Amino acid sequence: MYEKSYPNKRFKHTIEFLKNHIPNTYSILDLGVENPFSEIMKSEGYMVENTKGEDLDIDTSAISNSQVKVVTAFEIFEHLLSPFTVLQSIKANQLIASVPLRLWFSSAYRSKTDMRDRHYHEFEDWQFDWLLEKAGWKIIDRQKWTNPTKKIGIRPLLRWFTPRYYIIYAERV
């Protein structure tokens, strides 16, 4: 999954944010297939169940049938055509979600080899906030951070100053 670069900084920020808001005694439904970050959550004592790879734009049954207290969605909503439907189907009262932010100096991400590894949305923070609000969520806390690279050039320089990731903790209204 991370053949070229392991997202240490993103994972560090994400687990700290999660630990600040959710006790590790809570059960979590993590949207998306099992991945290195779901393993990090488990190593921190969280009881984590992942969705199984179903197309969440079409089939939200795993979400709507879940009895967990918390749903997490880390870099998932940008891949969906209709994240609004997924957000509405969540029965849990707590949500932690992160998205990559739209970078004005870079086009949307699109894998040429994996049809599921494409960004349909790259949000600005206000767009993601609005989506959550319309789907019945109230944002309690939020953070942004950059994702610098060690490359040379104008875009790599801009990545040192331009936030790339946005994470929220929200509760059902």
DSSP 48-112: EEE--S--TTT--HHHHT---SEEEEES-GGG-S-HHHHHHH--SSEEEEEEEBP-TTSPPPB-S
Over the stretch 90-105, which tens digit does the pLDDT of each residue have?
999 999 999 998 766 5
Nearest to 118 by CA among 61, 75, 73, 172: 75
Over the stretch 22-41, which tens digit does the pLDDT of each residue have?
999 999 999 999 999 999 99
Report pTM: 0.88
pLDDT over 70 percentage in the chain: 87
DSSP class of 45: T
Q: Could you give the angle at which helices 8-21 and 36-43 cross, rounded to 10 degrees?
A: 40
Question: What's the mean per-residue pLDDT of the chain?
Answer: 89
Task: Report whether pLDDT(157) > 90.
Answer: no
CA distance 161 to 107: 18
